[in-house]
């Protein structure tokens, strides 16, 4: 597979040009004054990360990036309210706005506000339709550089995030965290303020709270029916309006409305992963519903 780093066609040099920027990256149409600057920039496309953190194994394009990252481990820029460590004073200042609620950067189109200027720049691409980050393999374009970087793993097969418990590797950090929460952790730190139900993730708590508040923010554009969760809306579109795609299990042909649901099904039913553990006996179960049903066994015993 030919990459930008393998081709001299991706570098355009203008030695007699009066302009100071004479080295061109044809992926982003970005120019650089020095060839070394272009070479460093090209590593963003190839995924080459030369500098590795010896504490968390995170890798970086340059030594300065690694040095900034080490500030997190040293606790140089630490939030006094929650203890979070940041890589720079600027990052810490932006983080503190999450506590103060300050959002000084406002979109002139929809008036949405942001804590960081770069978040506003990225948001503005929703209105402009601008997608400056282009995959040099399949030409797919993206509005965020981070999204392009994650996309490139589709072509390279890279899975840089490794679970230290079972050694399973993932292409996304969020997938690794989800795996840890689902398979290796019984912790439920998020508690509902209405019924005291506990959740493994804040996302699950937010969805649950809508049961109490009655909020249904997801509406069908065809018939204006509203739903509490996005997957409920997707199921409605599939079943009522024949819009969307079903995800089918290759082993048992069962169909699911989301790719995540298919992955969970495959993990639990076909790889025999049972993340739900009974608090009163060593038995494990594939789903929360099976665990709740099992708990009836123990409650029946206590009646005698």
pLDDT of residue 182: 67
d(CA 162, CA 168): 6
Q: What is the pTM of this model?
A: 0.41
Domain locations in the chain? 4-46
Give Cα 230 distance to the centre of its chain.
17
Question: Interior CA angle at 187 toward 184 and 188, to 5°?
Answer: 130
Question: What tens digit of pLDDT does each residue of 154-191 get?
Answer: 888 888 888 887 777 888 888 888 777 766 777 788 89
Q: Which tens digit of pLDDT belongs to each residue from 22-69?
A: 677 665 556 777 777 777 666 655 555 567 888 876 777 778 888 999
Q: Supply the pLDDT for residue 222.
A: 92
Q: How far is CA 89 from each of CA 78, 95, 127, 175, 291, rounded to the nearest angstrom?
A: 9, 10, 31, 29, 47
- Is 50 exceeded by the pLDDT of residue 297? yes
CA distance 287 to 264: 10
Q: 3-state DSSP call for residue 161?
A: strand
CA 103 to chain centroid, in Å, comes to 23
Name residues whose C-beta falls within 8 Å of residue 3's C-beta, 6 or more positions apart in sequence. 45, 46, 136, 137
- Of the two residues 194 and 139, the one the predictor is more confident about is 194
Give the model confidence (pLDDT) of 86-119 as tens digits: 999 988 998 898 888 899 999 999 999 998 888 8
What is the mean pLDDT of the segment spanning 245-264? 85
Which sign, positive or negative, has the C-alpha torsion 69, 75, 77, 78?
positive
pLDDT tens track for 189-206: 889 999 988 887 788 899
Contact partners, residue 37, CB within 8 Å, separation at least 6:
23
Confidence class for position 294, pLDDT limits 50, 70, 90: confident
Instruction: Compute the Cα dihedral for 287, 289, 292, 296 and give only its sign.
Output: negative
């Amino acid at each position: 597979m030919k990459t930008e780093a393998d081709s001299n066609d991706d570098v355009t040099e203008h030695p007699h040009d009066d302009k100071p920027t004479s080295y061109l990256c044809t992926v982003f149409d970005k120019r650089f004054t020095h060839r070394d600057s272009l070479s460093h920039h090209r590593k963003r496309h190839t995924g080459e990360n030369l500098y590795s953190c010896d504490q968390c194994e995170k890798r970086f394009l340059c030594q300065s990036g690694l040095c900034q990252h080490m500030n997190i481990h040293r606790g140089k820029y630490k939030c006094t309210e929650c203890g979070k460590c940041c890589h720079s004073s600027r990052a810490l200042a932006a983080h503190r706005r999450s506590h103060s609620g300050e959002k000084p950067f406002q979109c002139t189109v929809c008036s949405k506000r942001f804590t960081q200027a770069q978040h506003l720049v990225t948001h503005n691409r929703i209105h402009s339709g601008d997608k400056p980050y282009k995959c040099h393999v399949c030409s797919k374009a993206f509005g965020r550089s981070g999204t392009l970087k994650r996309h490139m793993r589709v072509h390279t097969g890279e899975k840089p995030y490794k679970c230290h418990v079972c050694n399973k590797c993932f292409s996304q950090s969020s997938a690794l965290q989800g795996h840890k929460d689902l398979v290796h952790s019984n912790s439920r730190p998020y508690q509902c303020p209405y019924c005291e139900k506990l959740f493994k993730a804040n996302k699950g708590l937010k969805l649950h709270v809508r049961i109490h508040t009655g909020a249904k923010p997801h509406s069908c554009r065809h018939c204006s029916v509203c739903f509490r969760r996005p997957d409920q809306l997707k199921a409605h579109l599939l079943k009522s309006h024949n819009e969307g795609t079903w995800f089918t299990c290759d082993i048992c042909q069962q169909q699911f409305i989301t790719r995540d649901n298919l992955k969970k099904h495959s993990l639990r039913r076909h790889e025999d992963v049972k993340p739900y553990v009974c608090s009163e006996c060593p038995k494990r179960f594939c789903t929360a519903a099976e665990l709740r049903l099992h708990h009836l066994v123990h409650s029946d015993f206590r009646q005698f």
